[in-house]
A and B are shown apart, each in its own frame.
Chain A
Amino acid sequence: EAGVAQSPRYKIIEKRQSVAFWCNPISGHATLYWYQQILGQGPKLLIQFQNNGVVDDSQLPKDRFSAERLKGVDSTLKIQPAKLEDSAVYLCASSLVPYEQYFGPGTRLTVT
């Protein structure tokens, strides 16, 4: 089966610019997760969707980050405006069995 797809794979932007990441989960997986992974640290959950509803967004910096999952399939994560500390790998994961997550390759964001 096809895995979790993410794009772009790499993005370099200047601070205060905006950026969007896209994720296509494994077909049939109702749960979708976005994580931020800073170099040398483990992934930190930003937001979790169940179908197109938000289960947890307690660690999403809502003043600058937003995410949506239209029709319960694809999802986009947006940062506006970006800060230097947003430089990280943004991971998307999906699951069918609760919390048994399949990860995409990630998007490496560099903010200069």
Chain B
Amino acid sequence: GNSVTQMEGPVTLSEEAFLTINCTYTATGYPSLFWYVQYPGEGLQLLLKATKADDKGSNKGFEATYRKETTSFHLEKGSVQVSDSAVYFCALSGTNAGKSTFGDGTTLTVKP
């Protein structure tokens, strides 16, 4: 079956540091890949997505590239802010790839 593995947290960074959150997946077919973010006290929000190999999703300074050869979709940001503190979830889904599957989330705390 499908599965998503995220790097374990929590991750604590200083403001303006570089962020990488690793995500690897196992799936049948050709899934679309997503990063969702959950800010404190709020619901899950779509952050970015990529629908095919080599696509790069980007939003709010975050980027992730769909790497089929390494089955990865790592989230990166060049300079994090305190307001980026949240839980980040990697997910996959798609018509030909089975049901939506989420990772267990990675908690990011950014300190000033």
Taking A43-B44, A91-B44, A106-B43 as contacts, is the C-beta distance between A100 and B102 under 8 angstroms? no
Contacts of B82 in A (CB 8 A): none
Q: Find out whether the CB atom of B102 lies under 8 angstroms from the CB atom of A42.
A: yes
Q: Which of A70-112 contact B (CB under 8 A)?
A: 91, 93, 98-106
Q: Find out whether the CB atom of A99 lies under 8 angstroms from the CB atom of B104.
A: no
Q: Find out whether the CB atom of B99 lies under 8 angstroms from the CB atom of A102.
A: no
A103 and B105 CA atoms in complex are apart in Å by 16
Q: Which of A35-49 contact B (CB under 8 A)?
A: 35, 40-45, 48
Q: Find out whether the CB atom of B49 lies under 8 angstroms from the CB atom of A44.
A: no
6 extra interface residue pairs, beta carbon distance < 8 Å, beyond A33-B100, A43-B44, A99-B94: A42-B4, A42-B89, A99-B93, A100-B49, A103-B43, A105-B43
Contacts of B43 in A (CB 8 A): 91, 103-106
Task: Tell whether A14 is near chain B: CB-to-CB under 8 Å.
Answer: no
Chain B: residues with Cβ within 8 Å of the partner, total of 22
A56 and B93 CA atoms in complex are apart in Å by 12
A105 and B102 CA atoms in complex are apart in Å by 17
**CB proximity of B58 to chain A, nearest CB, Å:** 15
Task: Tell whether B85 is near chain A: CB-to-CB under 8 Å.
Answer: no
Chain A: residues with Cβ within 8 Å of the partner, total of 23
Binding site for A on B (CB under 8 A): 4, 32, 34, 36, 42-46, 49, 89, 91, 93-95, 99-105
A89 and B79 CA atoms in complex are apart in Å by 32
Q: Find out whether the CB atom of A42 lies under 8 angstroms from the CB atom of B105.
A: yes
Kindly identify which residue among A40, A43, A102 contacts B102, using a CB–CB cutoff of 8 Å: A43
Q: Find out whether the CB atom of B95 lies under 8 angstroms from the CB atom of A45.
A: no
Contacts of B102 in A (CB 8 A): 35, 42-44
**CB proximity of B89 to chain A, nearest CB, Å:** 6
| Max chain A C-beta neighbours (<10 A), residue from B36, B42, B46, B99 | B99
**CB proximity of B38 to chain A, nearest CB, Å:** 9
The 9 closest A-B pairs by CB, nearest first: A42-B102, A99-B93, A103-B44, A103-B43, A42-B104, A56-B99, A105-B43, A43-B102, A45-B99
Q: Which of A45-65 contact B (CB under 8 A)?
A: 45, 48, 56, 58-59
